């Protein structure tokens, strides 16, 4: 069985704060990536669950470690999203932009503004995907880690 380390457990505590109705079928996919190039990796998280997601997808979150509070803080959220989720080489305020699929052929790009990630366009064309893939497409949500095990 997979043992979760302290970083994983703290991230899960932050994810659980975002879940209004906790159910045992909540799974997530996470990738740590240094989005602002300060040597500390942020967590990009895609939460997947039949009870929390709709036909357009599930929620994607970005969390940053706050050493003064000893916890992860949410610095970005995009509802109804789908993998792949990518960090592009382009930056805003020193942070990599994120590109997240919103439908089978459309992507939204998120830029870092006012201390958090915000969508900058409602829809982008389905131009070629580029950048570092943080969350890969998956076949079944059970491939993710269980949030409530």
Reported confidence tier of residue 1, pLDDT bands at 50, 70, 90: very low
Comparing 136 with 125, the larger pLDDT belongs to 136
Tell me if 70 is assigned to some domain.
yes
Report the domain count for the chain. 1
pLDDT tens-digit map of 29-71 = 999 999 999 999 999 999 999 998 988 899 999 999 999 999 9
* pLDDT confidence of residue 60: 95
* pLDDT confidence of residue 4: 75
Backbone dihedral angles phi then psi of residue 17, each to the nearest 5 degrees: -65, -25
* pLDDT confidence of residue 83: 93
pLDDT tens-digit map of 81-133 = 999 999 999 999 999 999 988 876 788 889 999 899 988 765 666 665 678 99
Residues spanned by the domain of 119: 6-18+25-139
* pLDDT confidence of residue 112: 94
Tell me if 1 is assigned to some domain.
no
Q: Answer yes or no: is pLDDT of 2 > 70.
A: no
Tell me if 12 is assigned to some domain.
yes
Tell me if 146 is assigned to some domain.
no
Tell me if 119 is assigned to some domain.
yes
* pLDDT confidence of residue 141: 94
Is there a contact between 11 and 2 (Cβ–Cβ < 8 Å)? Answer: no
pTM of the model: 0.91
Beta pairing partners, 100: 85, 108
* pLDDT confidence of residue 12: 96
Q: Using the CB atoms, write b or e for 39-57: b if 16+ within 10 Å.
A: eeebbbbbbbbeebbeeeb
Nearest alpha-carbon partner for 12 in 3, 4, 24:
4
Which string of DSSP letters, residue by residue, matches the chain?
Answer: -PPP-HHHHHHHHHHHHH-SS--TT-EEEEEEE-SSSSS--EEEEEEE-TTT-BTTBEEEEEEEEETTTTEEEEEEEEEEEEEEEEEEEEEETTEEEEEEESSSS-EEEEEEETTEEEES-S-B--PPP-SEEEE---S-GGGSEES--
């Amino acid at each position: 069985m997979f043992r979760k380390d302290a970083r994983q457990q703290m991230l899960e505590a932050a994810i659980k704060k975002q879940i209004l109705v906790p159910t045992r079928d909540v799974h997530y996919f996470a990738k740590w990536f240094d989005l602002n190039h300060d040597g500390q990796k942020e967590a990009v998280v895609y939460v997947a669950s039949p009870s929390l997601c709709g036909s357009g997808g599930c929620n994607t979150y970005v969390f940053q470690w706050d050493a003064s509070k000893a916890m992860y803080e949410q610095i970005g959220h995009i509802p109804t999203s789908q993998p792949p989720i990518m960090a592009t080489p382009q930056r805003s305020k020193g942070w990599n932009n994120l590109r997240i699929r919103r439908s089978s052929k459309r992507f939204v790009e998120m830029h870092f503004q006012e201390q958090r990630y915000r969508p900058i366009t409602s829809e982008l064309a389905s131009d070629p995907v580029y950048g570092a893939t943080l969350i890969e497409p998956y076949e079944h949500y059970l491939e993710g880690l269980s949030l409530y095990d």
